[in-house]
Amino acid sequence: MKRIQKVAITGGTHGNELTGVYLIKKFIKNPNLVKRESFETIFMHTNLGAIEQCTRYVDKDLNRTFTLDGLNDNSLTSYEDIIAKKINQELGPKGSDNPNVDFVMDLHSTTSNMGLSICISTEDKLSWQVAAYVKEMIPEIHIFSWKGDTNDTSFISSIPPSGFTIEVGSIPQGVLRADMFFETERIIQAILNYFELYNSDEHTKKYNKIEIYDNVKAIDFPRDEQNSINAMVHPTLQENGYFKLKKGNPIFVDLDGNEILYDDIDGLYALFINEAAYYEKGVAMCLAEKKTIEI
């Protein structure tokens, strides 16, 4: 078994998600907080331009820019395309058998009230073992299996084979929320603890299965003939991440107050409900199937 040598914590991939931005600032001031005996931890602000402006991105979503095709396409010259290539060199490169870091955890927040989540996009066995350990340590965390909204894996956490995204919410864009800040740090510490165990002889526990929310589809807001949103998330869902939907549940309410009922597969769970950044992506929420999988 290959030992873990280097782990990366990335924050500010979306510059207006301040939890990650300020956790990285904290680690810069006090690196000992994330130091472990058996491996090196590095941490970095990834999208400095967006952090400076307190916007999600400068030109395009950095966390959809790490496809192999995009990283290899030198004709792409947006701010995020350029920094993605630099980050890829530092943490990867993607596709390498021997990337510079063994694991990337990328820190995010969402305006959706879904508590603590790990978004995992890979079949990689180590990533799933880490997720299972974190779930054992912090049982309230949800594991969301999601390949993202692009064809190829495009998240920064996909640079090495192992990694995932940490999502906490609800937090408005541009806001620091103390409770979520410390909860995110708790998740980071659990992950680092796992690798310390992994590298030691003591580590024998292997997880065989895990409860996940497996992405089925994203659904958009109802829109009018001008493509303008004409209905809002129904109040029964607004504050309820991982809400179990049944046919006939009100899911949206239009601007006049008329309810729009859910008429899709019974028993799917709604998450990423009313995430601000997904309005432009045409996503009002994601629907996922709850299941236990072997890992």
Q: Rule CB under 8 A: choose which of 177, 186, 203, 290 binds a second copy.
A: 177
Residue 235 interacting with a second copy (CB under 8 A): yes
Q: Which amino acid is at 192?
A: L
State in angstroms the smallest separation of the CB of 139 from a second copy: 21
State in angstroms the smallest separation of the CB of 47 from a second copy: 17
Residue 228 interacting with a second copy (CB under 8 A): yes
CA-CA distance, 214 to 143, in Å (whole number)?
8
Q: Rule CB under 8 A: choose which of 35, 95, 205, 255 binds a second copy.
A: 255
Contact assessment for residue 211 and residue 136, using Cβ atoms and an 8 Å cutoff: no
Contact assessment for residue 162 and residue 150, using Cβ atoms and an 8 Å cutoff: no
Q: Rule CB under 8 A: choose which of 10, 170, 199, 215 binds a second copy.
A: 170
Q: Rule CB under 8 A: choose which of 1, 151, 257, 294 binds a second copy.
A: 257
State in angstroms the smallest separation of the CB of 227 from a second copy: 13
State in angstroms the smallest separation of the CB of 140 from a second copy: 17
Residue 274 interacting with a second copy (CB under 8 A): yes
Which alpha helices (DSSP H) does 54-161 contain, by range? 68-71, 79-91, 125-137
CA-closest candidate to residue 158, choices 215, 217, 84, 209: 84
CA-CA distance, 287 to 227, in Å (whole number)?
22
Residue 150 interacting with a second copy (CB under 8 A): no
Sign of CA dihedral 90, 95, 101, 103: positive
Q: Which 74-133 residues touch a second copy, going by CB under 8 A?
A: 111
Count residues near a second copy (CB under 8 A): 35
| Contact region with a second copy (CB under 8 A), list: 76-84, 98-106, 154-162, 178-186 | 178-186
Residue 281 interacting with a second copy (CB under 8 A): no
CA-CA distance, 117 to 168, in Å (whole number)?
6
Strand partners, 270: 243, 287
CA-closest candidate to residue 48, choices 3, 86, 83, 95: 83
Residue 181 interacting with a second copy (CB under 8 A): yes
Residue 100 vs 238, nearer CB to a second copy: 238
CA-closest candidate to residue 120, choices 143, 102, 90: 143
State in angstroms the smallest separation of the CB of 281 from a second copy: 12
Residue 174 interacting with a second copy (CB under 8 A): yes
Backbone angles phi, psi at 21, to 5 degrees: -60, -45
State in angstroms the smallest separation of the CB of 102 from a second copy: 27
Q: E strands, the chain, where?
A: 6-11, 40-45, 103-110, 115-120, 142-145, 163-169, 209-219, 231-233, 243-244, 250-254, 259-261, 269-271, 285-294
Residue 93 vs 222, nearer CB to a second copy: 222
Residues lying near a second copy in the complex (CB under 8 A) are found at: 22, 25-26, 30, 54-55, 111, 170-179, 181-182, 228-229, 232-235, 238, 253, 255-257, 274, 276-277, 279-280
